[in-house]
Every structure is written in C-alpha cells, then in structure tokens.
Amino acid sequence: MKKQLEAFVSPLTAFSIINYERGEVLSLSPSLYQRLLPAENYLVIDSWGAGVAGGRLSASTRVNEHGRRVSYNSAPFTLSIKGASTQCVFNISQHGGQVFYTSTTPHGTVYPRAVLYNDVIGGVALMVKEPAEIARKKNVKNPTKSHGRSYLSEDGCKTKGVASVTASSSIVIPDTEKFSFLTNANMYFSGTLYEVMDGVLVRVHDRIIDDAGSWGGWGGDCALTDDENNLYPDGISMLMIDDGFSEGKATIEFNHNPLDKTVTITVLSHTSKVCDLRDLTEVGEPFPYTICFAL
C-alpha cells in the first residue's frame, strides 16, 4: 500500500495513535488530551500502551459557543513519541484554516481517515513502527446505527475514500422526499429542522457526532416541518449550519414549489472546507439527497 505521508484537516479534528511496537510503552511529549465517553470528559495522558491502537486525542481542548468542550489542535506544535528502541516525531503546522500533519522520522507514518469520501476526513492516524507488509482491512468495524444515522469510529474509517461524482451545489427533489446529512463535525442549526426519531418528526437543533464517539457520520431523515403530508413550507426557507466556533458555516436554501411538487435545495454560501449536495447511493448508502458539511 502506498503510504499517505501527510494530512490536511480542521483544528477540530482529533487524531489517534497506533502503536505496532508490541513490547514498548511509549512516552508522549507534550501530554495529550484523550476524549472519553461521555464525550465532554477528557483524560490527560503522557504515555501510550504497547500494541495499543485508537483513541481520540488532541493537544488541547476548547469550549465552543454553545458551552461544549471539544478537542482542538492549535498549531504549530511537535509531537514526540518515544520508546526504548523507537522515536517518532510528528510536526503539526498551520496553513490557513487547516492543520497539516507530517512525519519527520522513518518509524512514523501519517494516514488521513476518510468518512466515505476522500474530502471528508474524520481524523488522522499516527502510525508507530508500522510493518512494511501488513494486511490492512478496510471498514473492519461496521458503523454504529441510531435513528437512521450511521457513525464511524476510527477503525471503521477508510485509509482513502472515493471521489464523489454526484456532488453539486443545487438539486431538485420531490416534495415528498426527506433529506439527510454527511459530516465530520458537530453541527448546530439555525432555522427550523425536523428529523424522524422513533417514527415521528421531531425538532432538532444540532447533530453532535462527539456524543456517539465517532469520527463522522451520515444519514437521518430530515424535513422542514413536522407534517408528514407537507414536509416543506411553500416558498423559500433557509437553514444555517455552524461548527460551534463560527469558523465553518453554511447557508442552505430550500425553495418549495407546490405547483410542480418539487423542492430545490441550494448551497448559497459556505466557509466550511466542503459543503455540497451528494447522492450517497454512489457509495452504497440509501440516502440520495444528502447535504455534505465537512471541515
């Protein structure tokens, strides 16, 4: 497999450590924050176990505009991972609004972790002493499902996703159809949004992937009203999405034409790295009308 030696991600994106050295506990410098469940609990760690893989790690944490404590990686910093016979150094630098991960030592490798697509990165895996030949299985762990949503953990993400061929800034759907989301971030909504929960359309104000301990997720059956017979108000409605820090934002327009029974969904603007509309059936998921919002 060709190694991915770098990754561009949001400062809000967590990373993991995969230690292939079975006989060595590794020391970490600086100390890191490991996110636990419930999602706002963090443990400060300065070592990593022999043969241990995974974790949701960050160099620091911040409290967002909604009072939630989240992982945050302020660049630049250098992460040193040492054992008795191993030393890896990873440089984390800032380029615009993105954080750039590279390895500067031969025993360390950087892999982005994709959520279905190669432009939706759920996290970064830092490999320590990865064997030269390894049978790496993709999607070892199936997504966790809840209320029609799917969530991926680190060991469910792909090393490399696919490129979308359906991504568009605007689509037209029948007004009897609901829509869904794909994201690698917590999302906060301004505007009226409903989602099917236990068979009933209920008002939702956010979608927090942290609560599922996931690196990203997709799905859900969403509408702009709680009326199954009239899912969208007539005319134009707006939905705003925010990452909790007002750094990644998007404005989505829904234009319901009751005469021809269609809804035109359009991404009017966004400051997130990715915001478009995709047909997830191209990757085997049953969500043809999906808003992709990714940092």
How do residues 4-52 score in pLDDT, each as one tens digit?
458 899 999 999 999 987 788 999 999 999 998 877 789 999 999 998 8
Percent of the chain with pLDDT over 70: 92
Among 75-79, 252-256, 274-278, which is the least confidently predicted range? 75-79
Q: What radius of gyration do the chain's Cα atoms show?
A: 20
Tell me where in the chain the CATH 2.60.270 domain(s) lie.
6-137
Local structure of residue 282 (DSSP, 8 states): G
Mean pLDDT of 265-273: 98
Cα separation, 262 vs 129, whole angstroms: 54
Whole-prediction pTM: 0.91
- Rounded to the nearest angstrom, the gap between the alpha carbon of residue 277 and the centroid of all alpha carbons in its chain is 16
Q: Rounded to whole angstroms, how far apart are CA atoms 161 and 95?
A: 23
DSSP tag of 45: E
What is the phi/psi pair of residue 3, to 5°? -75, 140
User: If we measure between CA atoms, which residue out of 180, 196, 171 comes closest to residue 263?
Assistant: 171
Instruction: Using the predicted structure, report yes or no on whether residue 163 has a pLDDT greater than 70.
Output: yes
Angstrom distance (rounded) from CA 236 to CA 218: 25
Residue 251 has pLDDT above 50, yes or no: yes
From 168, 224, 221, select the one nearest 196 (Cα to Cα). 221
Is pLDDT above 90 for 153? no
Assign 280 to helix, strand or coil.
Answer: helix
Q: What SS3 state is found at 210?
A: helix
* Measured CA angle at 64 (ends 7, 152), to 5 deg: 45
Decide if domain 6-137 falls under CATH 3.30.230. no
Which 8-state DSSP code applies to residue 3? -
Q: How many residues does the chain have?
A: 295
Distance of CA 172 to the CA centre of its chain: 26
